[in-house]
């Protein structure tokens, strides 16, 4: 739920074999958090219906687009909210249009000088008529007439507007590539690839943020609780794989071109990386450094 503003987890530790272990990261849903506030220079979190505060050191907070001390962040869905609101209203209008206009507009002609009761009866007949399998009209007298006006067509502008808002919502999340070809209009593979690359960059940025916060406020703390780290020692880190498909052919062509121009020299590290990308067995090197 990071894209919705923030994700908050409470760190729950336990002791095992003389070491402090992470038992779980207890999810604290957004709807349960009422306030973030500073108390004596320390962050504290207040939950709805729970007077006991959660101290900041016990939580790990992933905030999306955090500004200053606003740990609630700013939802990635916020730019799409206006379009979602209009789209929801337009769907309602479209449903009303189908219900009212699928049988065209009913027209009832009453006898000359109709009474109040006859006027009310005519209004009720027209008002209650709906497009259903058993729809019918019973007229009160012979001089009454019933007809339809209009062509019964739907408001095509509504659906065009809905399509527009769908595109804007997709663009707000950098996912406009899913709209290519949706309206019968073609889209090149290269264009789709360019758009999807933007989406992957956005996901990579979020993954980097999650990894950075986890490394700084969870892994580092856990290591310090169990080990006496010396100057120069490196802490373990949370890493993630490249997001999206890897074009192996492009990598091969690039390495070949760089190698031919003596910019990069193929060595064991490059071979290990290529084997990893191709999901091949690890190489076994002899004493001379060559693959056995």
Give residue 273's pLDDT band: very low, low, confident or very high (50, 70, 90): confident
Residue 77: which of 1, 9, 8, 7 has the closest Cα?
Answer: 1
pLDDT of residue 183: 62
Average model confidence (pLDDT) across the chain: 83
- What the block records as the tokens of 3 is 């894209």
Query: Which own/partner pairs from 210-217 qualify as long-range (CB within 8 Å, at least 24 positions apart)?
Result: 210/2, 210/62, 210/238, 211/237, 211/238, 211/239, 211/240, 213/60, 213/61, 213/62, 214/60, 214/238, 217/60
Q: What is the mean pLDDT of residues 255-272?
A: 87
Chain centre distance of CA 241: 20
pLDDT over threshold 80, residue 179: no
Chain centre distance of CA 102: 36
pLDDT digits (tens, 9 = 90+) for 2-28: 667 899 999 999 999 899 999 999 999
pLDDT digits (tens, 9 = 90+) for 33-52: 988 888 777 889 998 888 78
pLDDT over threshold 80, residue 257: yes
pLDDT of residue 142: 79
Domain boundaries, the chain: 2-63, 80-157, 173-226, 246-292
- Taking residue 206's Cβ as centre, other Cβ atoms within 10 Å add up to 15
Give residue 70's pLDDT band: very low, low, confident or very high (50, 70, 90): confident
Indicate yes or no: pTM above 0.75: no
């Amino acid at each position: 739920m990071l894209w919705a503003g923030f994700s908050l987890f409470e760190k729950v530790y336990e002791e095992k074999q003389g070491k402090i272990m992470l038992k779980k990261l207890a999810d604290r849903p957004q709807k349960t958090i009422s306030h973030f506030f500073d108390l004596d220079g320390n962050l504290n979190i207040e939950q709805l219906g729970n007077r006991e505060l959660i101290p900041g050191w016990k939580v790990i907070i992933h905030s999306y687009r955090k500004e200053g001390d606003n740990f609630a962040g700013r939802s990635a869905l916020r730019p799409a909210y206006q379009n979602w609101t209009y789209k929801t209203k337009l769907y309602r209008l479209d449903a009303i249009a189908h219900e009212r206009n699928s049988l065209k507009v009913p027209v009832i002609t009453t006898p000359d000088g109709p009474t109040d009761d006859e006027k009310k009866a005519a209004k009720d007949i027209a008002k209650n008529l709906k497009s259903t399998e058993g729809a019918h009209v019973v007229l009160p007298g012979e001089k009454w007439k019933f007809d339809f006006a209009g062509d019964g067509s739907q408001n095509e502008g509504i659906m065009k507007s809905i399509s527009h808002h769908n595109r804007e919502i997709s663009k707000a999340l950098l996912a406009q590539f899913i709209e290519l070809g949706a309206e019968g209009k073609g889209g090149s593979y290269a264009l789709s690839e360019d758009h999807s690359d933007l989406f992957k960059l956005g996901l990579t940025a979020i993954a980097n943020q999650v990894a950075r916060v986890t490394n700084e406020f969870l892994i580092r703390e856990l290591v310090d609780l169990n080990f006496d780290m010396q100057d120069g020692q490196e802490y373990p880190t949370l890493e993630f794989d490249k997001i999206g498909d890897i074009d192996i052919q492009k990598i091969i062509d690039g390495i070949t071109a760089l190698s031919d121009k003596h910019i990069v020299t193929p060595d064991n590290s490059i071979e290990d990386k290529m084997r990893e990308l191709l999901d091949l067995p690890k190489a076994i090197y002899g004493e001379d450094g060559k693959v056995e």
